[in-house]
């Protein structure tokens, strides 16, 4: 657990970067610091490993004040990943990964073996071990950066916009793999980004920073989308937050109508012999010989966002649920879904009141 207690930072030129920061980063979770540029998020991150010293207050890691510890030793126990990776250009990939183990004097053979394992773990191959950073793509550099931060198996990791410098497709791949890796490792991670979508995708907890280094809100991603603390957070989170917040609930608890109930209307759901949906037929939709495609189905493991999207895009305003074998086992109409979402919202705001 990392605790910020009344932490503030004023730079020598008088800039107030961080003001009176109080919050806790839970152990084994990803806490994202997000906010516009100049809001003190990076400064706050860098105070954890003393790259920046606080002007007031304390930062505790598992109850121990960081400023009471030797800075270099403290930093060796905290993984650090930055934008553009900051790899050492004069060292090979494997030597880069072995940086901290060699600083603390781990046996070379052993640290090499660990480093090799880590390379595979972050999705690189053994053949990359002896390349130099200049020979890597941006995404590969970032993976090496993550492997280097993990090499000494630190309980805490600091990540400063680690995926901002790579293109969007590579970024979403890196994010997914990062979450998978975190699922295996369970590190306590502080993660800085200016991208609210990244914050919501990655974070277990999200700290929204405001200009002047104030903490505008500290909450789970879902809470942030559903109940922004003020208009600043609401604006920052974005317009379609209501829709995005639906990604956090599964379709498991939806009340579903039986497939046969479609027959009561004028539209018909055409199924194949195995009961898999083929398409829609109905007046103004499609003729019987050429049914309109279903355009997608959901399972009870999908999120409400998927169901809502299907109901909106379906030619007849009905989303079709299938079981694991692809057989249609239920439907939900647009109107029913809206009613259920409304009930869910009432319930939730009732719980908050």
Partner 1 sequence: MIDYISSNTTVIWRAFSEHVLLALIPVALAIIFSLPLGYLAVRYSKLYYPLVNLSSILYAIPSLALFLLIPAIIGTSVISPLNIIIALTIYSVALMVRVVADGLNSVDPSVTQAATAMGYRRVRRLFGVELPIALPVMLAGLRVATVANVSIVSVGALLGVGGLGALFVRGQQLDYAEPVIVGIVLSVMLAAFCDIVIVLVQRRLTPWTRVGGRA
The footprint of partner 1 (CB under 8 A) covers: 49, 51, 72-76, 80, 82-91, 99-100, 103-104, 131-137, 148, 158
* Nearest to partner 1 of 80, 280 (CB atom): 80
CB of 115 to partner 1, least distance (A): 14
144 contact partners, CB below 8 Å, separation of at least 6: 85, 87, 93, 96, 97, 119, 122, 124, 128, 133, 136
In angstroms, the CA 59 to CA 43 distance is 13
Of 15 and 135, which has the nearer Cβ to partner 1? Answer: 135
Q: How far apart (Å, rounded) are the C-alpha atoms in residues 209 and 308?
A: 31
Least spacing, CB of residue 346 vs partner 1, in Å: 48
Alpha-carbon span 27 to 156, nearest angstrom: 9
* Shortest distance, position 64 Cβ to partner 1, whole Å: 17
Q: Give min distance, CB of 135 to partner 1, in A.
A: 5
Angle between helices 108-121 and 138-150 (to 10 degrees): 130
Tell me how far, at minimum, the Cβ of 50 lies from partner 1, in Å: 9
Shortest Cβ 100–partner 1 spacing (Å): 6
Instruction: Determine contact, residues 327/272, Cβ cutoff 8 Å.
Output: no
Nearer to partner 1, 82 or 311 (CB): 82
Whose Cβ is closer to partner 1: residue 77's or residue 220's?
77
84 vs 334, beta carbon nearer partner 1:
84
Minimum distance, C-beta of residue 345 to partner 1, in the bound complex (Å): 44
Token digits of residue 310: 């299907």
Query: What's the burial of 351, exposed, middle or buried (CB within 10 Å: 0-12/13-18/19+)?
Result: exposed
How far apart CA 269 and CA 331 sit, in angstroms, is 10
The angle formed by the CA atoms of residues 218, 83 and 127, to the nearest 5 degrees, is: 125
Cβ distance to partner 1 smaller for residue 86 or 296: 86
Q: Which is nearer to partner 1, 99 or 210 (CB)?
A: 99
Residues contacting 350, CB < 8 A, separation 6+: none
Q: How many residues does the chain have?
A: 353
């Amino acid at each position: 657990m990392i605790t910020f207690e009344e932490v503030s930072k004023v730079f020598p030129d008088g800039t107030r970067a961080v003001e009176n920061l109080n919050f806790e980063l839970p152990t084994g979770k990803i806490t994202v610091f997000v906010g516009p540029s100049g809001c003190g998020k990076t400064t706050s991150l860098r105070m954890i490993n003393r790259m920046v010293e606080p002007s007031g207050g304390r930062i505790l890691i598992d109850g121990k004040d960081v400023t009471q510890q030797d800075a270099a030793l403290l930093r060796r126990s905290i993984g650090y990943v930055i934008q553009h990776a900051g790899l050492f250009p004069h060292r090979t990939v494997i030597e880069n990964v072995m940086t901290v183990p060699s600083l603390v004097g781990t046996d070379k053979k052993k640290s090499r073996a660990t480093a090799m394992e880590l390379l595979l773990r972050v999705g690189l191959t053994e053949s990359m071990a002896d390349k130099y950073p200049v020979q890597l793509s941006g995404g590969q550099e970032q993976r090496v950066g993550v492997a280097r931060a993990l090499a000494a198996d630190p309980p805490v990791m600091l990540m400063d916009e680690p995926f901002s410098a790579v293109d969007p497709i590579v970024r979403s791949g890196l994010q997914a793999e990062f979450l998978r890796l975190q699922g295996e490792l369970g590190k306590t991670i502080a993660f800085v980004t200016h991208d609210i979508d990244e914050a919501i995708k990655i974070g277990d907890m999200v700290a929204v920073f405001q200009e002047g280094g104030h903490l505008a809100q500290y909450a789970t991603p879902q809470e942030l989308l559903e109940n922004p603390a003020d208009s600043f957070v609401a604006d920052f989170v974005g317009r379609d937050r209501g829709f995005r917040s639906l990604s956090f609930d599964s379709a498991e608890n939806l009340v579903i109508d039986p497939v046969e109930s479609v027959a009561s209307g004028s539209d018909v759901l055409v199924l194949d012999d195995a009961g898999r949906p083929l398409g829609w037929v109905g007046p103004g939709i499609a003729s019987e010989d050429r049914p309109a495609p279903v355009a997608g189905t959901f399972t009870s493991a999908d999120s409400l966002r998927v169901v809502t999207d299907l109901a909106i895009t379906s030619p007849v305003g009905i989303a079709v649920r299938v079981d694991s074998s692809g057989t249609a086992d239920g439907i939900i109409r647009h109107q029913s879904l809206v009613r259920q979402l409304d009930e869910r919202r009432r319930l939730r705001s009732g719980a908050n009141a």
